[in-house]
Structure 1
Amino acid sequence: MDSTLPSTLTLGGIFPSSGGWEVGPSVFPAFQMAIEEINENDALLPGTELKYYLNDSSCDEVVGQSKVMWQNTYPRSIDMILGDGCSVACEAEARLAQIWKMPQISWGCTSPSLSNKEKFPFFLRTVSPDTITAAAFSSYIHELTPWRKVAWISEDALLFTMTHDSFRAAQVGLDDPIEIVAHEVFVAGDGVATDLELRMKAIKDTGVRIFVINCYTGNARRLFKIAKKLGMTNEGYQIFVGGGVAECVLANPACPIDGIIEETDEELKEAVHGALFTYMPFAPKGEPRYEDFLNKMVSRLGLSGPSLVNAYAVAAYEAVYSYAHAAHSFSGNIRSDQSEFMSHLRTSSCPGVLSNVTYDEFGDRMSTVAVANFDYGLNEDSNGLWLTTHSFNANEGIVSVGSYQTVYTGGTTNQPPVASATIIDVAGNASVGLPFILSIVAAAIFVITIVVIYFRRNEQKLGLERKADHMRMNSMRLENEKLHENLKMLQQYSKEEIDMIEGQIVSFRASFSKKNANDAEVGTVNARRDMAKLLIPASELESEELLGKGSFGEVHKSKYR
C-alpha cells in the first residue's frame, strides 16, 4: 500500500428519501454500517478513516447535482460519490464526477445509458442495468407464454424509455418475436393523473391484454389504481412492472412510503395482486456472508425478520467495500492520480455479500435478476408482499425457482389467453375483426361528409365574392367612361379661354371695396361655385398620366390641385 494514502477519505452518500422513489431510509443504514466496519478493521485501510456526508437527491437531477456540489464545496470536500439510486439524478451527478475526475459508484441506478463509458467514464455500479430487466421479460414471455403482443407505458425518463428500447431490440433475430402494439410515454408532474388515465384507455382500446408499467413508484401506484378502475386488473390481463422500483409499490418496512411501513390501501393491494416484476435477488438461504449481513441489518433497523431487508441495501454495502478495497491496494496517490485510480477501481475485485464484486467493461455488475409475483401475502413462503417465481441471467435464460405456481393478474393461476380482440400494431397493420372494420368505415364516412360540406360552403362563399368583384368592376368601368367624357369636354377649352375666365374673376373681385368685404366674399364664393361646374377636382382624375394630357390638364394640375 502506498504511504501517500491520506489519513481520511470522505464519501459523498446520495440516497433518495423523497420524490419518486423513497428508498433511502432503508438503504443508507447499510452504507453507514459498512463504513463503521471498515474503520474498525485494522487489516483494511489501516491509518485511514472513512468519513461521509449523507444527502437526499429527491430522485431529481437538479437536486441531486446540487447536493453533490454542496458536498464538494469548500470547506467540505469528498473523494468519491456513492450513489445515487435514481438514474435521472445519477446521470446529472456523473457529469460532475467526470469534471472532477472522481469515482462514482451507484447502488441503484439501472439506466442502460449509464453503460456508455465515453459519456460517463467515472461511473460504476454494483447493480445490473435494466437491459437485463428487458431481457428477463422478453425471455419470460417468449419461453413460458403464448403471448406475442404487448403494450408499454413508460415515464419520460431515459431510464425507462431505454428499457423499452432494449426489449424491442431483444426481439431482433427471433423466429417468433414479441410485437409491441403500443408505447405510451407520459411526463410526470401536475396533471399527470388525467394523462395517465387517457394513456391507459388508449392501451385498453388496442385490445392487447399484456402490458408493462415502467416508471417510478409514485406513478406506478397511480397506474395500478387506474388499471383497476378500467377493468385492466381483472382475470385475462397480465401486468409486468419494470425497473427495480417495483418492490416499493406497496409500502413496507424495507421501503417506507411517506413514513408508512405497512400498506393500508386495500384497493391498491388488490390491484397489484398477481403482477410480475423484476428485482435484485437475494442470495440463497444459508450463505454465511449473506446471513450475517441480514442479521446485522435486522438488528440495526429493528425489523421483524430478514425478509424485510431491502435488496438495494446489499448493493450500497458492497459499493463501500469495493471502494475501500481498491483504495487499499492502489499503489499511487489516490487524489492526484485520479484517472489511474479509476482504472484500478474498475478492474478490482472484492468479496461481496451476494458474490464477488466485479465490474465489466461498461462498469456494470452483471448478475441474476429475480422475477417475482405480488402474491398479496397469501403464500406462507413469501415475505408478505411478493414471492420469487423465476430467476434470469444471460447465460441460463429464465429458470423456475422452487415449486411455486405463478399467480397472474386478478389473482388467478390460469394463464391469460392470447387476446382475441383486433389489435393495431405499431406499423398500422390490423388483424381482421368486424367491429373494427365497421368503426373504421363509420369514421371514414364521417370524415368524407365533413370534407364535402366544407368544400360546398367554401364554393358558395367564393361565388358570392366573385359576384361582388364583378359588380365593383362594372361600377369602375362606368366611372372611367364618365371621366373620359368630361376630359374630352374640358380639353376643348384653350389656354387663352382659361386665362380670360381667370382674368374676369380677378376683375370681379377687385370691383368690391373693403367696406363691402362681406359682399365681395359672397361674390367670390358664387364665382368659384360657377367655376367648380367647369373644373374637375384633382381627386376625381384617374391618374397623373391623365392630368398631363391637354392644355386644361396642365393648368388644373398647377393651380388647383
Structure 2
Amino acid sequence: TLTQSPAASNEHNTLTHCRKKKLYIGALFPMSGGWPGGQACLPAAQMALDLVNKRTDILPDYELELIYYDSMCDPGEATKLLYDLLYTEPIKIVLMPGCSSVSTLVAEAARMWNLIVLSYGSSSPALSNRQRFPTFFRTHPSATLHNPTRVQLFQKWKWTKIATIQQTTEVFTSTLDDLEQRVKEAGIEISVRQSFLTDPAVAVKNLKRQDARIIVGLFYETEARKVFCEVYKEKLYGKKYVWFLIGWYADNWFKIKDPSINCTVEQMTEAVEGHVTTEIVMLNPETVRGASNLTSQEFLAQLMSKLGGKNPEETGGFQEAPLAYDAVWALALALNKTVGPLKAKGRRLEDFNYNNKDITAEIYRALNTSSFEGVSGHVVFDAQGSRMAWTLIEQLQGGSYKKIGYYDMTKGNLSWYGNDRWIGSGPPADQTVVIQKFRYLSQKLFVSVSVFAGLGILMGIVCLTFNIYNSNVRYIQNSQPYLNNMTAVGCMMALAAVFPLGIDGLHVRNSQFPVVCQFRLWLLGLGFSLAYGSMFTKIWWVHTVFTKKDEKKDKRKHLEPWKLYATVGVLLVIDILSLMIWQIVDPLHITVEKFTKEAPKGDVDQLIEPLLQHCSSEKMNTWLGVVYGYKGLLLLLGIFLAYETKSVSTEKINDHRAVGMAIYNVSVLCMITAPVTMILSSKQDASFAFASLAIIFSVYITLVVLFVPKMRRLITRGEWQSDQQETMKTGSSTNNNDEEKSRQLERENKELQKIIQEVLCHLHFLQHAVEDVSY
C-alpha cells in the first residue's frame, strides 16, 4: 500500500481546485447607512462560502465566488452599483441585495437580465408581489409574518377590538394593510388607525381620546422612543393598555438617551412595561446540525471569532447574520440541484448568460422547492418567495424581555410557556366595558301615585252612585245628570290610565309592553273625550241657547237632551276613529332610548349606559301633533265659551258655572302638562310624576267642583226628601219663584247701574262747564 505524502495531497487539492469552474455571486452589503447590516452579514456569508467550497458533495465541479459592494442601504447608490455588477465581467449568476429599499430596485430590474435575486435582509411586504418581482426570494421573512402571530394572540386573549399607530413608510403601510385583512377575516375590528411622519404627539393623543386599549405600533426604533415619550405624557400605559411592538429593536432601546425626546429613562421604563413583541426567529433555538453541519451556537461562536471580538449590539446586522449564512447555503443547494437536470438537457451552469432563460428557470424551481435545516431554523419559501419561519413572542417584565411563546405559521402551532405577566389581574379588556342598565320607575313613587289614583276612582264611583241615586231630584235633573255621569266615567278612565303609565320593563316582558302602550293611549283618549267632552257640550249649548238677552225669546227656547248626547257622541267617535287609524296604520311599539354613558364609583374599568323604554311609533311626532292640535283647540274653545257664559243664569243647566271653572283648571293643567312631559321624557320619574299628578289633580278638581256642591245642597236643604213627598210641587214652585225674583233683581240692578252711569256723566260735564266759566 502506497501512502500519499502530505505534500502530494496538497498538490492534488490544488489541482482539483484549479479544475473547478467559478460561479459568481453579485452582492450588495450595506456596510453603512440607515441599516448597516453588512457589518455582520458579510462575514457570515463568507463563512458559508468557505464551507460550501470545501464540500465535495455540493457543487463538486464548481466554486462560488462573492463579488460585493457597499450599497449604504441607498437606492440611488445601489443603482450605480447594479450597473457595475451587470456590465462588468464576469457574469453573475445570482444577485444578493440587503435592505428592502435596495432589494426593491434590484428585484424589479433583475428580470430584464433573467437573474435570480436572493435577499438576506429585506422584510418589506411589497416584495411578495410575484407580478412585480417574479424572480425574487429572501431568507428574511416578510414583515407580514408578524401578523398571523398577532392575530393568534388577539384570539388567545379574547380581544375583538384593536388600534394601530404607524410610521408612514412603505414597509409599515404594507404590513398594516395585511394586518387589517387578517383581523377582518378573524372577526376582529381595527377601531382606530393613526399614522405620523416624524412627530407622533397628535397620533398618540387621538389614541387616548378614542379609548384605544390594544395598540399595535409599527415604527423604527428611533421613532419608538418618541412614541413612548408621548405615551408617558398621555398616560396611555398601565393595566388598561397593551402595546404590540416589533421585536428587532435592541434590548435596551428604551434606555438609550435620545436628544429628540424630553423623557427620562425612568419615565420611559415605566411607559414600556408590559408590552409584547413579536420577532422572527433568526437563530434556531434547538441544537440541530443542519446542512452546514453546524449548530446555531457553533455558528455564533465562529462568527464572533470572525468579527474579532466586536460587541454584537454595536455590530449592524448581527441578528440577521444567520439569514445571510443560510442564504448562501440555500443558493448552493439550489445550484447543486440544477446540475442534473441541466446536464440531461445538454446544458451546464457555466453556460449561463443574461439571455438564457432555461438555466434561470431551473434555478428558480430549485430555490422554490428548497427545504433544509439551517442555523436560522428550517428554511422553506412560500409561493411569493418569502421565508417561512417561526415567530418569537416576548414580553417586557421588570425592565427585561422574557420569552412567553413561539408561533409556527406553517403548522398554525402556538407553543406557550404560560409565564405572561400583567400589571393588573390579567389581560386587560380591549375596550371600556359598557354595561347597559335599564332605568325603571321609582316603585315608591308609583305606589304613592297609584294610591291617589285609586282614591280618585273610588271618589268617582261615589259621585256616580250619588248622581244615579238622586236622578229624580229636580235640582239634579236640571244639571243634566247623564252628562255628569259621562264626566264621572271619563274621570275614572283617566285615573285608570295612571296605572299603565307607571308600568315598565320591571313589571312586564318586552313582548307584553305594546299592550301596555295601547292601554295608556285608549284610556287617556277615551277618558278625555268622555270627561271633557261632556263638560264642553254643556258650555257649548249654554252659549248657543242662552246667551241672548231677549226675555221673550228666552222663554220660548227649549233645550233638547238628545242634542247634548249627540254632541258628546260626535266627539267620542272622532277620538275612536283617530285612535283606530293610528293603531292600524302605525301601531305603537317599544323603543329603547340610550343616554350618555356614566362612570360608576370606584376604580372600575366600566361605563354604565342607561336605557329607557318608551312607547313609540314610526310617525310618533306626526300623530302627537294631530292629537295635541285637536285637543288643544277644544281646550281653547272651552275656555272661551266658559268666559262668555260666566254671567248666564239658567235652570236648564244649573251647574254650567261649575263646569266652566272645571274647564279652566283642566285646560290650564293639560296645556302645561303636554310640553313639560315631552321635555322631561328622559327623566322617567319626573315625567311620570308630572303627567300622573296632572291627571289626578284635574280629575279631583272636576269631581269636587261638579258633585260636591250638589251633595252639600241636598244634604243641607234636604231637597231629595221634598221631591219624594207630596209637597214637592209646592217646594218646586217656591224655588222657581225664588229664581224668578233673583233674575228680576239682576235686571233691575243692571238698569239702575246704567242710570247711575248717566248721572255721573252729566255731573262730570257740569264740572267742566263750571271750571270754564270760572276761567
Distance 1:401 1:23, change over 3 A: farther
Aligned pairs, number:
397
One of 398, 417, 429 as aligned partner of 1:402: 417
Aligned equivalents of 2:31, 2:318: Cα separation in 1 = 14
How far is 1:227 from its partner?
A: 1.8
In structure 2, do the counterparts of structure 1 residues 394 and 10 end up closer, same or farther at CA, with 3 Å as the change threshold?
A: closer
Change (3 A) 1:227 1:333: farther
Query: Cα–Cα, structure 1 residues 400 and 96, in superposed 2: closer, same or farther, change >3 Å?
Result: same
For the pair 1:342 / 2:364, whether they are aligned, the reply is yes
Amino acid corresponding to residue 296 of structure 2 in structure 1:
Y
Q: CA deviation at 1:398?
A: 5.8
Q: Which moved more, 1:347-356 or 1:205-214?
A: 347-356
Could you tell me which residue of structure 2 aligns to residue 9 of structure 1? 24
Alignment of 1:155-234 (within 5 A): 155-174=167-186, 177-187=187-197, 192-193=198-199, 196-234=200-238
Distance 1:251 1:41 in 2: 45
TM (norm. structure 2) is: 0.46
Task: Specify which of 83, 102, 117 is matched with residue 130 of structure 2.
Answer: 117
CA positional deviation for 1:434: 5.8
Following TM superposition, by how much is the alpha carbon of 1:7 offset from its aligned partner in structure 2, in angstroms? Answer: 2.0
Q: Secondary structure at the match of 1:218?
A: helix
Q: What do the CA deviations read for 1:466-497 (whole angstroms, capped 9, x no partner)?
A: xxxxxxxxxxxxxxxxxxxxxxxxxxxxxxxx
Partner of 1:510: none
Conserved? CA contact 2:257–2:265, under 8 Å: no
Partner of 2:253, secondary structure, is coil
Distance 1:265 1:6 in 2: 57
- What residue number does 2:298 align with? 292
Change (3 A) 1:344 1:236: same
- Tell me, yes or no, if structure 1 residue 51 matches structure 2 residue 66: yes
Q: Specify the alignment match of 1:373 in structure 2.
A: 395
Equivalence for 1:250: 253
Whether 2:319 is the aligned partner of 1:315: answer no
State the one-letter code of the partner of 1:7. K
In the other structure, the counterpart of 1:392 is 407
Q: Distance in 1 between matches of 2:69 and 2:372?
A: 24
- Residues of 1 paired with 2:252 and 2:109: CA distance? 31
Give the structure-1-normalised TM-score.
0.62
Corresponding position: 1:238 with 2:242: yes
* 2:183 partner SS: coil
Q: CA deviation at 1:376?
A: 5.4
Distance 1:394 1:327, change over 3 A: closer
Q: SS at the partner of 2:379? A: coil
Partners of 2:222 and 2:38 in 1: how far apart? 15
The 3 A distance-change label for structure 1 pair 397 and 43 is closer
User: Cα RMSD between the aligned structures?
Assistant: 3.8
CA distance in 1, matches of 2:162, 2:115: 42
Give matches, 1:136-151, under 5 Å: 136-143=149-156, 145-151=157-163
1:41 counterpart = 2:55: yes
State whether residues 379 and 388 of structure 2, in contact with CA within 8 Å, keep that contact through their aligned partners in structure 1.
Answer: no
SS at structure 1 position matched to 2:177: helix
Give the deviation of 1:240 after TM superposition.
Answer: 0.4
| Separation (CA, whole Å) in 1 of partners of 2:229 and 2:42 | 30
Displacement of 1:121 after TM fit? Answer: 0.8
CA distance 1:432–1:101, change in 2 (3 Å) = farther
CA 1:42–1:202 in 2, change beyond 3 Å: closer, same or farther?
A: same
| 2:432 is the counterpart of 1:420 | yes
- The whole-number CA distance in structure 1 between the counterparts of 2:364 and 2:172 is 28
Kindly indicate whether the alpha-carbon contact (under 8 Å) linking 1:220 and 1:249 is maintained by their aligned counterparts in 2.
no
How far apart are residue 180 of structure 1 and its match?
0.6
For 1:366 and 1:292, how far apart are their aligned partners in 2?
23
Stretches of structure 2 that go unaligned for 5 or more consecutive residues are: 1-17, 259-263, 290-294, 354-358, 435-593, 600-606, 608-775
| Matched-pair contact (CA < 8 Å) for 1:213–1:239 | yes
Cα distance change on mapping 1:72 and 1:139 into 2, 3 Å = same
Alpha-carbon contact 2:405-2:415 (below 8 Å) kept: yes
- The one-letter code of the counterpart of 1:283 is N
Matches of 1:100 and 1:269 in 2, distance apart?
51
Q: Could you say which residue in structure 1 is the equivalent of 2:43?
A: 29
Distance 1:209 1:114, change over 3 A: same
- For 1:285 and 1:349, how far apart are their aligned partners in 2? 17
Q: Deviations over 1:300-331 (max 9, x none)?
A: 3337899x994422111100111122223323
Q: What CA deviation, in whole Å up to 9, does each residue of 1:100-120 have, x standing for no partner?
A: 221111223233332221211
Q: Is the 8 A contact 1:277 1:372 kept in 2?
A: yes
The answer as to whether partners of 1:82 and 1:320 remain within 8 angstroms in 2 is no
How far, CA to CA, are the matches of 1:320 and 1:247 in structure 2?
Answer: 26
2:597 matched residue in structure 1: 433
Distance between the aligned counterparts of 1:431 and 1:208, measured in 2?
Answer: 22
2:420 alignment partner AA: T
**Counterpart contact for 2:26–2:85, Cα < 8 Å:** no
2:147 corresponds to which of 126, 129, 134: 134
SS in 1 for 2:88: coil
| In 2, Cα distance between equivalents of 1:235 and 1:216 | 25
Q: Unaligned 5+ residue runs, structure 1? A: 259-263, 379-385, 423-429, 437-561
Deviations 1:483-513 (A, max 9, x none): xxxxxxxxxxxxxxxxxxxxxxxxxxxxxxx
DSSP 3-state at the match of 1:9 = strand
Measure, in 2, the Cα distance between the counterparts of 1:4 and 1:99.
32
- 1:389 to 1:116, Cα distance in 2 relative to 1, 3 A: same
Deviation digits for residues 222-258 of structure 1, max 9, x if unmatched?
A: 222222232223332211014x644577299xxx999
Amino acid paired to 1:155: Q
Bigger share in helix: 2
CA, structure 1 residues 27+217, in 2 after alignment: closer, same or farther (shift >3 Å)?
Answer: farther
Residue 6 of structure 1: how far off its partner (Å): 4.2
Kindly state the Cα deviation for residue 373 of structure 1 after the two structures are TM-superposed: 1.8
Q: 1:226, 1:431 → 2: CA distance?
A: 33
